[in-house]
């Protein structure tokens, strides 16, 4: 039987997931399908009935459904609850299981792009305390990393630090320059960098020479933060790999093959970024 998967959202035509999974279906010679389906919020319960009837092996969930599906799933991975969003559904024996693979995408990207990144023994500076920061914090804590969580609005960082287990010290962006000399990794999870915007007042030259800088913004691929870090000779990893690696667990669950994030897959997605809004 042909196994079918999907991404649901509203609207859905912006999603790059069909390109990623389509490439993997071809690379692995799997006679399956992965389709983008526009599901309006009011139609979500009916779509879940289709899932329970076994029409699909599972699929991805994107905006605006990532929180709404919590109440419709039969089981939810505990880490998806901490992250506050579901992006992957797997259907087993008529039951829909929801999880969040963004934190695995973040880890997979750094493991591939900067092997040993988690062995420095030095704290991580996370910039931003929005939705995406949650997955990054869960990822960093799963590797036992100590984190300084710096946000434009300090109170938001304080609230988020309380919600995630472990060593997370909240602060504001102005704390960066005093923390930088001890840091091993800097992660931007804010929307700064999109459309070429940049932070004011972060002095990357204060970081140790072997520090790593990564950005989860991937449009543009080289954000001003990454460009500045590279100009100083610092190691960098861009955010596109997080998008690619977060797709791996879903594909494996639906189609039974663990796919690889290859240079040709990356090139196929990079080509779509040229037309990004």
Per CB under 6 A, which region of 19-27, 71-79, 216-224, 266-274 contacts ligand NAP? 216-224
Residue 58 in the binding site for ligand NAP (CB under 6 A): no
Residue 187 in the binding site for ligand NAP (CB under 6 A): no
For strands 185-188 and 168-172, give the pairing: unpaired
Just list the catalytic residues. 66
Q: How far is CA 81 from the centre of its chain?
A: 15
Per CB under 6 A, which region of 4-12, 46-54, 151-159, 175-183 contacts ligand NAP? 151-159
Q: 270 is written with which tokens? A: 């990079």
Q: 212 is written with which tokens? A: 């790593």
Distances (CA, A) of 251 to 89, 211, 276: 11, 33, 24
Nearer to ligand NAP, 179 or 194 (CB): 194
> What is the closest distance, in whole angstroms, from the C-beta atom of residue 130 to ligand NAP in the complex?
2
Binding ligand NAP (rule: CB under 6 A), the pick from 24, 103, 176, 218 is 218
Distances (CA, A) of 89 to 51, 65, 250, 272: 10, 12, 8, 25
Binding ligand NAP (rule: CB under 6 A), the pick from 15, 82, 114, 131 is 131
Residue 221 in the binding site for ligand NAP (CB under 6 A): no
User: Sheet containing 88-92: which strands, arranged edge to edge?
Assistant: 33-38, 4-9, 58-61, 88-92, 95-99, 75-76
Q: Give the interface with ligand NAP as residue ranges (CB under 6 A).
A: 102, 105, 128-133, 151-153, 156, 189-192, 194, 216-218, 239, 242-243, 246
């Amino acid at each position: 039987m042909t196994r079918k998967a999907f991404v649901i959202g509203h609207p859905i035509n912006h999603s790059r997931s069909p390109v990623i999974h389509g490439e993997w279906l071809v690379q692995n010679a799997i006679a399956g399908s992965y389709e983008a389906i526009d599901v309006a919020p009011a139609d979500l319960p009916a779509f879940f009935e289709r899932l329970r009837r076994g029409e699909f092996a599972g699929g991805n969930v994107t905006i605006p459904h990532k929180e709404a599906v919590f109440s419709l799933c039969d089981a939810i991975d505990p880490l998806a609850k901490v992250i506050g969003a579901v992006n992957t559904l797997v259907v087993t024996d008529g039951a829909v299981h929801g999880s969040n693979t963004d934190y695995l995408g973040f880890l997979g990207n750094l493991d591939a792009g900067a092997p040993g990144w988690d062995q420095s023994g030095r704290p991580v500076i996370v910039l931003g305390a929005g939705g995406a920061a949650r997955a990054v914090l869960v990822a960093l804590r799963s590797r036992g990393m100590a984190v300084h969580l710096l946000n434009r609005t300090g109170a938001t960082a304080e609230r988020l630090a309380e919600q995630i287990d472990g060593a997370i010290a909240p602060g504001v962006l102005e704390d960066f320059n005093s923390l930088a000399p001890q840091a091993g990794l800097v992660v931007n999870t804010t929307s700064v960098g999109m459309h070429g915007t940049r932070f004011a007042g972060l002095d990357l030259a204060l970081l140790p020479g072997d520090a790593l800088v990564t950005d989860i913004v991937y449009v543009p691929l080289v954000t001003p933060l990454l460009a500045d870090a590279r100009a100083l000779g610092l190691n960098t990893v861009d955010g596109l790999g997080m998008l690619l690696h977060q797709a791996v667990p879903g594909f494996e669950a639906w189609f039974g093959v663990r796919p690889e994030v290859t240079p040709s897959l990356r090139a196929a997605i990079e080509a779509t970024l040229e037309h990004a809004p």
